[in-house]
Amino acid sequence: MTKTTAKKTKYNLWQNTAFMVRIAWNTCPSVIFIGIALALATTGSTVAELLLTPSILQKLETNASLTELLILIGIFSVSLVILNGFLGYLYENTSFGRIEIRTEIVWLIGRKLARTSYSNLLDTRFISFKSKAEQACSSNTAPTEAIWDTWVLILTDAMGFLIYLLLLSGLNPFLIAVVILTTTIGFFLSKRLNEWGYRHREEETAYIKEMDYICQTGTSRNYAKDIRIFGLRPWLTDVWGSAFHLYQSFLARREKVYIWTNIIDLLLTLLRNGIAYAYLLALTLRDGLPASKFLLYFTAVSGFTQWVTEILEQFTELHKQSLDLSTLREYLEWPEPFRFEDGTAIATNPSGDYELRLEDVSFRYPYASKDVISHISLTIRPGEKLAIVGSNGAGKTTLIKLLCGFLDPTEGRVLLNGEDIRQYNRRDYYDLFSAVFQDFSVLEASVAENVAQRADNIDMEKVQACLERSGISETVAALPNALETKIGRQVYEDGVELSGGQMQKLMLARAFYKDAPIIVLDEPTAALDPIAENEIYLKYNEMTEGRTALFISHRLASTRFCDRILFLEQGHIAEDGTHESLLSLGGKYAELFEIQSHYYKDRETKGDAQ
């Protein structure tokens, strides 16, 4: 594991407290007032309990009447009953608002993830910060909720500290100085030690992310067949166990550091109490303090040192919570490389004529040693059908991501009708594209909802037409509830699971429903059988009529339906032309086509022999 270097937090505990207060004020202000009321009531109850016994003892020393004694006891008893009852009421009602605030922060985390620039999703640091942000909201004891308890305790301790300080103001100032000095030393030592976890947070996140991935993989239905067929369980268990042991080692190192915090606190507490008790005993023996004052001072000194110790502990806890909140805020405020609402709106073009151009474009993924796309210049005319082919790793999918605006080039420009797309609202730019990618998302929802990508105001006639165009209408009609049939069985017990080819056709229907001027097809027939694939090819011109079409395929026989073909090799356009012109050129495209055509001929020959 690479050694993690120390990094200063972006926000301190006061800034993070202000952040939480702002969210509380806008979401559920009662949390703030209930917290202050809890601190006041707790302090009042503690002070009342402190004064009760010395006050009774003082009455006995002054030979007060039984009536006076009973009245005093009654006043204290009623006060304690009222305060404790009020405390009980507050504690019963404090969780609701705090949970509402934590839920709001969870929503902010999800919103950031859903709306962030696509390139951020390729940044491992962004993903790590997201994981830590989610941990900060994972339970009632997580920092986004526990911080309110911490601040209630700090307010309580601070008020108790001041009241006890007034009670002890008549004693030797040296005693107070000792308490303040040991408290200051203890606070800064504890603060330094407790920063260890923050300084090594990226190491911890790496272990947690690895364990989570193995756990999700091992319990996902998508991998269930492979795990059983290939006997992957021992391997997955070993990988998870290895990560878990490393995480255990990390926790052991962390806790050894934190133990020193507790040892220092203990030694400083013993020093404070020892000096305080020695002073009070000397004062009692020398000046003959009354029993009531001795008891009051003795209890106050003990309580005073406890207030100091708890202030130290709570500020230490608050500091740790603040470190997690700082990570949360850094995630929420992660810079966006793309422009969204602050970008220029793309004017609607009724004709749907949009020209795409790459101007000396290169792209390199973060931390990569070389470019995936290197100095490509390309113009895609409105309505043109362009095929992009090449071997694995040639840069086909990356080129599509650049054209679709998911990535910005590291060099050069992507132009829409002659204008750099970086100036536009990127969501407006996305509206220009319909797509079927190799990795597509299918929701646990109805067929109609998956095609329309919405839950209401669905144009059912349009859905049906799109299903027919993609060749899956008969399959859908045969489902138990036709268009209302649920897909998947993780949410709905009566859901259905479509085959890979059926799912691909459904994604084609979804692309048609959006009806955007530019359609992107990334291996749209990879999961189809030859007959279904041929049906799609025969409908290709119909499917893409009136649109610009970008088509990626490993099967070169499909590219003859396109106006132009790009053959990519190692991030460059090696060949550019029509199917016929590239065959006559006799280059890499012709060579690869010949290999594939032999493969199909061999299959046909073997089929005839059988």
pLDDT tens sequence across 411-430: 999 999 999 999 999 999 99
Return the pLDDT at 265. Answer: 72
Nearest to 53 by CA among 389, 293, 404: 293
Chain centroid to CA 511 = 29
The one-letter amino acid code at 373 reads I
- For residue 588, how many other CB atoms are within 10 A of its CB? 17
Q: Distance (Å, rounded) from C-alpha 166 to C-alpha 552?
A: 79
The one-letter amino acid code at 203 reads E
Print burial letters for 423-438: b (CB count within 10 Å at least 16), e (below 16): ebbbbbbeebbbbbbe
| Helix segments in 195-290, DSSP class H | 196-199, 201-219, 224-229, 233-287
Q: β-pairing, 433-436 with 385-390?
A: unpaired
Label residue 580 exposed, middle or buried (CB < 10 Å: 0-12, 13-18, 19+).
exposed
Element (H, E) at 115: helix 66-115
The encoded tokens of residue 171 equal 């004693």
Pair 268, 260: CB distance under 8 Å: no
Predicted TM-score (pTM) above 0.75: no
Angle of the 291-332 helix axis to the 30-61 helix axis, nearest 10? 170
Contacts of residue 342, defined as CB under 8 A and 6 or more positions apart, other chains included, come to: 425
Contacts of residue 533, defined as CB under 8 A and 6 or more positions apart, other chains included, come to: 525, 555, 558
Pick out the chain residues at pLDDT < 70. 1-8, 61, 171, 179, 183-184, 187, 190-191, 194, 288-292, 294-295, 297-298, 301, 524-540, 557, 598-610
Return the pLDDT at 4. Answer: 39
